[in-house]
């Protein structure tokens, strides 16, 4: 992630606090599993932005078993809603690498659909 944060983007310098990254690696244990994808992004968002941290905490308090919910429910509650409530100027960049290394082709399709849902957020790239 530090390498990505150090690279200039078309939006100017990438602020590491506005960056969340996830990668997949087939045969790499948890890094090949889609079920860790959303929570990994949410943890980074919570670590990097105070406002999203509170919204993510609220989502976890509301649904204590959020990690056992569907990827779509996790994405809605832990990523999209918190990002939609941010008032700080963006962009917020989510980097996904090696999605083709995901453990299951069905999960790849689900993640692609989830990422497409973020298009309506002006601040997310």
pLDDT in tens, 11-46: 455 455 577 888 888 877 778 888 889 999 999 999
Residue 125 lies in a domain: no
Residues 6+ apart with CB under 8 A from 11: 91, 125
Residue 72 lies in a domain: yes
Residue 14 to residue 1: CA distance in whole angstroms: 11
Longest dimension (CA), the chain: 39
pLDDT confidence of residue 15: 54
Q: How many domains does the chain have?
A: 1
The token pair at 113 is 């659909």
Residue 49 lies in a domain: yes
Residue 12 lies in a domain: yes
pLDDT confidence of residue 7: 43
CB 50 within 8 A of CB 57: no
- Which regions of the chain does DSSP assign to beta strands (E)? 8-9, 12-13, 19-23, 93-97
Q: Residue 62 belongs to what domain range?
A: 2-120
């Amino acid at each position: 992630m530090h390498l990505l944060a150090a690279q200039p983007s078309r939006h100017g310098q990438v602020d590491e606090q506005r960056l969340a990254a996830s990668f997949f690696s087939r045969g790499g244990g948890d890094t090949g599993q889609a079920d860790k994808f959303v929570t990994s992004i949410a943890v980074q968002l919570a670590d990097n932005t105070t406002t999203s941290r509170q919204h993510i905490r609220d989502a976890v308090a509301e649904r204590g078993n959020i990690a056992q919910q569907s990827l779509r429910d996790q994405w809605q509650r832990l990523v999209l809603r918190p990002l939609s409530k941010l008032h700080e100027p963006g962009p917020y960049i989510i980097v996904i690498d090696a999605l083709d290394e995901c453990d299951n082709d069905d999960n790849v399709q689900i993640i692609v659909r989830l990422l497409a849902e973020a298009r309506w957020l002006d601040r997310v790239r």
